[in-house]
Structure 1
Amino acid sequence: MGDTGGDQVEAAVRDCAAVLRPAAGLDWRGVPAGGLEWDCRRTAEHIASDLIAYAGRLASRATSSLPFDIALDEGTGNADVVDAIEATGALLAAAVRTAPREVRAFHPYPYRSANREGFAAMGVAEVLLHTHDIAEGLGLAYRPPAELCAWVLTRIFPHVRPEPGAPWNTLLWATGRADLPGRAPVAEWRWRNNLVIGAERLTLQGVTPAAAADLRAGGTGGFAWIEGGPFEGTRDAAGMVVKAYEAGTHRPEWGMFVLVRREDGLAVGAIGFHGVPDEEGRAEVGYDLAETARGRGYATEALRALAEHALARDDVKLLFAAIERDNAPSQRVIARAGFTRVSAEEERTAHEHHDLEPSLRLYARGR
């Protein structure tokens, strides 16, 4: 998983220009862009504005929205707007390629920041979708490569079930631009960059379906790992994320997080949930570390941070973890993170009615 998104930005812009430049002689003003309120000219200018805004935020490591926008000279022709899209796309691609992996910059939704891959995916989405809108308004044929659409979906639409063999149709449906058989129309939508939870020595970085698929296949997931990582349990958990994504049940805030050490940017393990909270507000947690990272308190620190983040929500009442009775190190971790062993009666109920393995012991932490 070596790409950072620069190639994808360039590919999206290249296809956009190939469609729009031959139509530069048409009147773009006053012609609605698909279902948008903007006309085709305003929509094309918006593409360039978004690309330069994303490039500026990422390059400057912005912590808030930047007070600038693109302004085209009076008398600028449609072909010149396409030039602006190509130029701003090149700037975003360069910013993505040169930004360190750990850099995040401001984006308002939903978690107030995005990394380089997130900015690339947002830029690609803007180009694909608004090129579609303009093409629809002008009566032009446009269909981007399926792999580019899937690339966007697996990075900033982790909550959307992919339609097998139809990533472009899925992206159009997810953004309210088309229908999919068996799915209700989308009236409101948002993409979702990965969630990052801070701790003292670590950051807990949400794993996208794209990263999870790479980890499951034996890759790094885009992370730089400590020697011996990732641990087998991390790859197994990544497989669970992929299955949930393909089923449309994945919710990124209840998924998997890789533990990245602040001092050197190395990933040391993973932590996360086994799914969304149940009707009673209970959620199960799990964690593991690469063997070379154990004994330093990382698991305890990460578990505390994750528990405090989750239990601050109104829809979470209790977190629990099932640990092998002979796994003394993990039991010490869970205890230091504020979890306690449940009563014998509760554990017996879990064994008898919830298929908890007899060798497992149950620990919980509430508000």
Structure 2
Amino acid sequence: MADTGGDMVQQAVTSAVAVLGTVTDRDWREVDAGRTAWSCRRTAEHVASCLLAYAGQLAGRARDAYVPFEITLDGEGGLDPAGNDGVLHVLETTGALLTAAIRTTPREVRAFHPYPFRSAGREGFAAMGVAEVLLHTHDIAEGLGLAYEPPAGLCTYVLGTIFPHVQPAADPWRTLLWATGRGDLPGRAPVTDWRWCNNLVIPAGRLTLEGVTPRAAADLATGGDGGFEWVEGGPFEGTREAAGMTVKAYESGVHRPEFGLYVLVRHEDGRAIGGMGFHGAPGEDARAEIGYDLTEPARGQGYATEALRALADWALAREDVRSLFATVERDNARSQGVLERTGFTRVSADDEDQVAYELRQP
């Protein structure tokens, strides 16, 4: 999984410019863009502003808010107006800036974005940039009476990165339009309110727990690295199995991303050392099952305990979780020790192969 999203941004911008470049002789200021309240010209400017803002967030390592700058095209503030060809040139330029920022930003860097966990990594900003381009090009094309359908791979990329809560369907472009209130999808109710969803990260001492997107999970489940740089021997088989569970939940439409798989990333070198997460969202009993594994070189150094304590604290602080449950092999004393140091209590040993543990809210 070598691509970090830069190629996707470039492909999206190229697709948009190709279709919009056929109507630069039209007056974009006098035509509304699809169902929006903006003109086609204003919508194109918005896309360029988003691409520039996302590049600024990554390049500036913004922590708590957007970097306070704004793009202004010629024609605003009393300047000579830029023609539609100029607007498309700005779109290409801002797309190139975001691409460069994505390619030069380390994978573990997070920058501020409000939805929904107040940060995003380079993959998140890439997917948001692609979404802005695809969706608003659709709006402009609709307003100008043009046919537009982007490459399916771009839509699948966006859905699998920032729409993990949306069950995929046979047509990814129609699914993306439906998920953003721009169309209908057979068998699904119309969408009137929507947000995309960047992955959650949880600090854990010497580690960070990084939520795995459906796209990354699919790569892990089929033998890839999921976009992470792993220590020798990683990822372990349990992580790949958990990734497969994530993909299955996503395809079934029951995936809740915060109750999925997390990869444990070490601060000192940015390398992944294991996986930890939930077997699914909590049920009616407000109980969630948790599991984990580490690569061989990372064992015996306290990493699992740090990570489990952080994940358990996060989960039990929620209103929809009252207890956590875990099972380990009877002869796995090291894993049992991790649970006990985290505060889990043994609740069952009836199975000849497994021992069950539970941790409840205080």
What letter is aligned with 2:355? R
1:36 equivalent in structure 2: 36
- Which residue matches 1:314? 319
Structure 1 residue matching 2:147: 3-state secondary structure? coil
Out of 144, 164, 170, the position equivalent to 2:150 is 144
1:129 paired with 2:129, answer: no
2:331 is aligned to: 326
Q: In structure 1, how many angstroms separate the alpha carbons of the residues matched to 2:82 and 2:223?
A: 50
Amino acid at match of 2:61: R
Q: What is the Cα deviation at residue 362 of structure 1?
A: 1.3
Q: Which of 211, 230, 233 in structure 2 is aligned with 1:225?
A: 230
Does 2:76 align with 1:71?
no
Match of 1:363 in 2: 357
Are the aligned partners of 2:60 and 2:67 in contact in 1 as well (CA < 8 Å)?
no
> Which AA in structure 1 matches 2:97?
L
1:88 aligns with 94
Give the one of 198, 213, 221 matched to 1:216: 221
Match of 2:9 in 1: 9
Question: How far 1:359 sits from its partner (Å)?
Answer: 2.2
Query: Which residue is equivalent to 2:52?
Result: 52
Q: Distance in 2 between matches of 1:301 and 1:100?
A: 24
How many pairs were matched up? 355
Shift of 1:29: 1.5
Q: Distance in 2 between matches of 1:328 and 1:100?
A: 37
Cα distance change of structure 1 residues 36 and 358 upon mapping to structure 2, 3 Å threshold: farther
Deviations 1:75-123 (A, max 9, x none): 1111111111010000000100111111111101111111111111000
Distance in 2, matches of 1:323 and 1:211, equals 26
Deviation of 1:30 after TM superposition, in Å, equals: 3.0
What letter matches 1:102 in structure 2? E
Give SS of 1:204's match: strand
C-alpha deviations, 1:308-363, integer Å up to 9, x for none? Answer: 00111111100110112221111100000110112x5xx76xxxxxxxx5522211
Show CA shifts across 1:240-286 (max 9, x none). Answer: 01111111111110000000000001100000000000112100000
The aligned residue for residue 304 of structure 1 is 309
1:98 is aligned to 2:92: no
* Structure 1 CA distance for aligned equivalents of residues 341 and 30 of structure 2: 64
Tell me the equivalent position of 1:351: none
Establish whether residue 341 from structure 1 lines up as the match of residue 346 from structure 2.
Answer: yes
Identity of aligned residues (%): 68
Amino acid at match of 2:122: R
Q: Counterpart in 1 of 2:203?
A: 198
Q: Deviations over 1:185-213 (max 9, x none)?
A: 00111111110000110000000111111
Query: Does residue 111 in structure 1 map to residue 105 in structure 2?
Result: no
Tell me how far apart the structure 2 counterparts of residues 195 and 102 of structure 1 sit (CA, whole Å). 12
Aligned letter for 1:112?
A: R
Query: C-alpha separation between the residues in 1 aligned to 2:234 and 2:85?
Result: 50
- Runs of 4+ that moved beyond 4 A: none
Q: RMSD over aligned Cα, in angstroms?
A: 1.0
Alignment partners' CA distance in 1, 2:253 and 2:203: 27
2:333 maps to amino acid: A
Partner SS state of residue 237, structure 1: helix
- Hey, what's the Cα distance between the residues in 1 that align with 2:36 and 2:294? 48
- Paired with 1:262 and 1:338, the residues of 2 have a C-alpha distance of 25
- Amino acid across the alignment from 1:363: Y
Matched AA of 2:212:
V
Tell me if structure 1 keeps the 8 A contact 2:21–2:85.
yes
